[in-house]
Amino acid sequence: LPILLHSFLYRKAATATGLPTFLLVGPSGGGKTAFTTLTERGTVPTTHTSTAPLQIEALLPDPHVPASSHYRSPGDPAFERSRRFIIHDTPGHGKLRNYATSTLADPKNVRGIVFVVDAAAIDEEAGLNEAAEYLHDVLLSLQKRYTNAKTSKGPKEIPVLIAANKMDLFTALPASAVKTKLEKAISAVRNNRAKALRDAGAKLTGEDDVDEEKEWLGEGGEGSFEFDQMREIGTTVDVIGGNVSQGKNAGDVAGWWSWMGEHL
Ligand code: GDP
């Protein structure tokens, strides 16, 4: 009962507060809605529809501690306040995906981006390509936000967590393989996009002198894309495995909550 009462009170209060926010993005079916519900209520949902953006307020669950409160003790009102945050769940499919990347252009209070992906789907070409394209666009939005920033210091860094979900499935790839597969697939997306731009530019002007630099993710040159290249624009990318559910029960997402705590 206390948990239910709690989430009722907080659901009403959400959005208005200006609390630190984590943006949930990723392909449809990865587990965003399930993760939102688990974080909000401590249970996994039986039915779900993630067709509209949803913001809920949550508390960082025990025993995770917000980085800003490492020296505070439980019971200290400042400690309790610092555990509060908003999860902003975004729809993963079709046109609505633009919503996620446009939110990144004006990321009020965004402390981090959690890219939820089905680690079993990554082992199939279609699933891998869909995830890689989406992630490419998210990272490119962050890169543009950085390079377009007016201040010399650059905007506040926004870290990215790739939450490799469904580790309970025996077909799920381990986090390290999810990482390398995505890096490789993003390299391909990057090349394809550049080629498409060149072709379009050549058609328009009859030459191929389009400024591709702004659309090129990460380091230039012939090398392949690696997440570490995002450090230059102030973005760290971590890949952590987890599973929101385990059969009908809650699974284990401690690694993701701990990552969120580090950025609270
Ligand atoms: P969303 O489209 O990203 O919001 O994904 P959902 O949260 O709707 O989840 C898609 C499907 O994956 C649902 O049927 C969930 O029950 C299922 N799912 C979510 N997390 C897990 C998990 O950790 N393991 C397994 N086996 N299934 C999961």
ipTM of the shown complex: 0.99
Instruction: Give the HSE-up count for residue 63: Cα atoms under 13 Å, Cβ half-sphere.
Output: 0
**Regions in the chain scoring below 50 on pLDDT:** 1-16, 95
**Is any atom of ligand 1 closer than 6 Å to the C-beta of 20?**
no
251 lines ligand 1 (CB under 6 A): yes
Burial class (CB in 10 A: 0-12, 13-18, 19+), 167: buried
**How far apart, in Å, are the Cα atoms of 110 and each of 5, 18, 22, 73?**
27, 10, 6, 25
Residue with tokens 């394809």: 192
Ligand 1 centroid distance, CA of 33 (Å): 7
Structure tokens at 195: 């080629």
Q: What are phi and psi of 92, to 5 degrees?
A: -95, -10
What tens digit of pLDDT does each residue of 58-110 get?
899 988 999 988 888 878 888 888 999 999 887 765 545 666 666 665 667 88
Cα(236)–Cα(72) distance, integer angstroms: 26
Please state the atom number of ligand 1 nearest to the C-alpha of residue 44: 16
- Residue 238: the pLDDT is 98
What six digits make up the tokens of 69? 């409160």
Residue 6's pLDDT is: 45
Ligand 1 mean position to 28 CA, how many Å? 9
Cβ of residue 28 lying under 6 Å from some atom of ligand 1: yes
Residue nearest to atom 26 of ligand 1 (CA): 166
Instruction: Find all residues with CB under 8 Å of 244, minimum gap 6, and list them.
Output: 31, 34, 35, 38, 44, 165, 166, 250, 251, 253
- Find out whether the beta carbon of 243 lies less than 6 Å from any atom of ligand 1: yes
